[in-house]
Chains A and B, each alone.
Chain A
Amino acid sequence: MKAFIKFFTSIRLAIVLLIILAFASLLGTLIPQQRGLEEYAARYGQLSGLLIRLQLTRLYHSIWYLAILGLFALNIVVCTLTRLSPKWQKAVKPHVQVEAKSLLALKIKDRYKKNAPLSAVKAELEKSLAASRYRLRSAGQDSKVHLLARKKILGIFGSDVVHLGLLIILAGGIVSGLTSIRKELALKEGETLSVPKASFELRLDKFTTEYYPDGSVKAWKSAVTVIENANPVLAKTIVVNKPLTYRGYSFYQTSYGWNWDNPAVEIWSKKKNDPSFLKKLKLKVGEQVPLDDKDQTSIFVARFIPDFVLGEGNEPQTRSLQPNNPAAFVEGFRGGEKIFSGWIFANFPDMDRIHAAKETDLSFELKSFEAGQYSVLEAAKDPGANLIWIGCVLTMLGLTLAFYWPHWEIKAVLEESQGKTEAIVGGIAAKNRDSFQAEFEKIMASARRTQ
């Protein structure tokens, strides 16, 4: 039991947990996460049931992954605390009285003798140390004095600050997991939707897509208004990377789509036997307009499909909601009698699918179409995020302290006998030993020089 507790509080457990975390995380990048059951069945066959039971398909949210993280957090707390108290002692109540023998065992050391009283030698050494910004403490009697000089003592707490930062980040993750709200709001222009669990609504005033000259998308812009108690309180344009933030909620431009409910189309009609005949018609789906006044024909657009494809049983359907292969079903009437009908395609103007019941030399082209777009905004409220930022700042501060704020310590024993004083000095640096040695030598040279 004792051995178990010892292992639990040891750095060895931290190492083991880090290795387990690394491999578990790796596994989650090999198995696609949080997909549909059918996809797993197709990919893994009979294994899929086992994967789902072991929560490998939602690995990062699985009980066992979270348990490892929890154990890891506990281990950080214990390891940090057990190391913190001796460090705190060292910082606040340092041990000044060291023996000369232990100083001579150090790698960086020096000893010198002067024909001067102890007080003078001490003053010179202290002056040299203070010039290099060391903080001094001393103890001892008249004939023997111990000196402790230190700088950048905060450096020894670097790792603790990092650990505190990581714990706060983990805590932030828990807060996010339990309390964050995320909902996609699909808004048509002019539409108002209420924000989940909030006291205000959001209205989309205008949605525009801007393009580069090469046709690729430059920006999606959603001009929105926040409405609170039926009053507009804030208007802003949301673009990707520039969310709107209001009352703890942020609204992100995440996607867009076409509103195919009621598109308008432009159709050009020609006559094979009469090159001079050209009629440009603009009409909405479901609308009937006259085509040729002479013989009383009219045209009716019955359907519009943005991404035309023939499905099962040759039934026309749309493959996606993107206008990849726009098609319109047109019908022609003369005096209440249907004379022709068929599909015309914007991308394939020559493809003739018009079936004429009566002889006609009319042909049609789908020149353009107009449909409203809707904007998809993500409403998110994540109270955990602020903890994450605090944790990140602490982590970086701690790393800077740990790597670039090295604690250096110089200890000395001064002893006077028969009017002569001997100084034994030793230096300890956990990091940057080369620069420390150079500084140590500089200080010693300066302390020796003054006679």
Chain B
Amino acid sequence: MNESTLFVITFILYILSAFYYLGFLFSKKPNSAKTGSALAVAGLIIHTAALIVRTVESGHAPFTNMYESLSFLSWASVLAYVIIDKKFKIPKIGPYIMLIVIGLVALASSPLMPKEATPLVPALQSYWLWLHVSVTLLGEAFFAVAFITSIMYLAAREADKKEKWDSVSYRCVAVGFPLFTLGGLVFGMVWAYKAWGTYWSWDPKEVWSLITWIVFALYLHTRIVMGWKGKRSAVIAIIGFLAALFTYFGVNYLLAGLHSYA
């Protein structure tokens, strides 16, 4: 089976998963959430196969243009959600995560995104492409889950539910922050040094990664040292994810720089 067929199957499974999760949201039947979760996992497996096929066919890492990196980001978001859900049992955020994922997949499938696997330009021919992009996007996927749980915190009314969302948000940041630091900043610097001879050039994408990192550093310091929790923490986590989103997306389209691949 080729990559685009697998990608379509993935898309359908994610839509069905969102459908069952939404059903759970209204009916409160736990079975509905279980089906939604099983469909999400099935989608994740097919999606993994699609990424592997893409890698084999193109001969390079599956994130060298916007289509590929959107596909990978949606894969990472589902993976992050599946992990967090397994640990904390939070099917309630399933529908929102799946809706975001469907949005990403739809954007990847849109005619705006060229899908052909183009040969790698010289700058991207490095194993650091794998390390830098995959770890960064995985970190950003955990920020995405933290974003949803922070919104859930703001929307929740009962104190015990609020406490749970607050704690899950923190745990997501606790996973996402080290991953983002490693993939985005450390691996990014190492690769930049190998390719361009300078580990930091104040390129807009680098600066926006730094801004994202600073926002989450603020999240951790206000929370751990100053004891901020709840509403203010949630707002910072939301700003942090939006900064990550802008780093990933906005910089490419709105600001020019070295990072003009994806």
B249 at interface, CB cutoff 8 A: no
A432 to B: closest C-beta gap in Å: 9
**1/0 per position for A365-391, CB-CB distance to B under 8 A?**
000000000000010101001001100
Measured between alpha carbons, how far is A11 from B186 in the docked complex, in Å?
A: 25
B10 to A: closest C-beta gap in Å: 28
Q: Are A28's CB and B226's CB within 8 A?
A: no
Q: Are B214's CB and A216's CB within 8 A?
A: no
- The residue in chain A whose Cβ has the minimal distance to the Cβ of B224 is A159
Contacts of A18 in B (CB 8 A): 214, 217-218, 221
A211 to B: closest C-beta gap in Å: 10
B19 at interface, CB cutoff 8 A: no
Within 8 A of A (CB), among B177-211: 177-178, 181-182, 185-186, 189-190, 193-200, 202, 204, 207-208, 210-211
Contacts of B208 in A (CB 8 A): 29
A145 to B: closest C-beta gap in Å: 34
Count of B interface residues, CB-CB < 8 Å: 42
Measured between alpha carbons, how far is A243 from B192 in the docked complex, in Å?
A: 12
A329 at interface, CB cutoff 8 A: no
Number of chain A interface residues as a range: 35 or more
A95 at interface, CB cutoff 8 A: no
* 8 Å CB contact of A385 from B182, B193, B221: B193
Measured between alpha carbons, how far is A392 from B218 in the docked complex, in Å?
A: 19
* 8 Å CB contact of B197 from A22, A217, A243: A243
B121 at interface, CB cutoff 8 A: yes
Contacts of A220 in B (CB 8 A): 122
- The residue in chain B whose Cβ has the minimal distance to the Cβ of A210 is B122
Measured between alpha carbons, how far is A116 from B202 in the docked complex, in Å?
A: 69
B260 at interface, CB cutoff 8 A: no
Q: Are B200's CB and A173's CB within 8 A?
A: yes
A91 at interface, CB cutoff 8 A: no
Contacts of B38 in A (CB 8 A): none
B55 at interface, CB cutoff 8 A: no
Q: Which residues of A are at the interface with B, using a C-beta cutoff of 8 A? A: 11-12, 14-15, 18-19, 21-22, 25-26, 28-29, 33, 60, 173, 176, 182, 212, 214, 216-220, 239-243, 250, 252-254, 378, 380, 382, 385, 388-389, 392, 395-396, 399-400, 403
* Nearest 3 interchain pairs by C-beta: A240-B122, A380-B197, A241-B126
Q: Which residues of B are at the interface with A, using a C-beta cutoff of 8 A? A: 118-119, 121-123, 125-126, 128, 174-175, 177-178, 181-182, 185-186, 189-190, 193-200, 202, 204, 207-208, 210-211, 214-215, 217-218, 221-222, 225-226, 251, 255
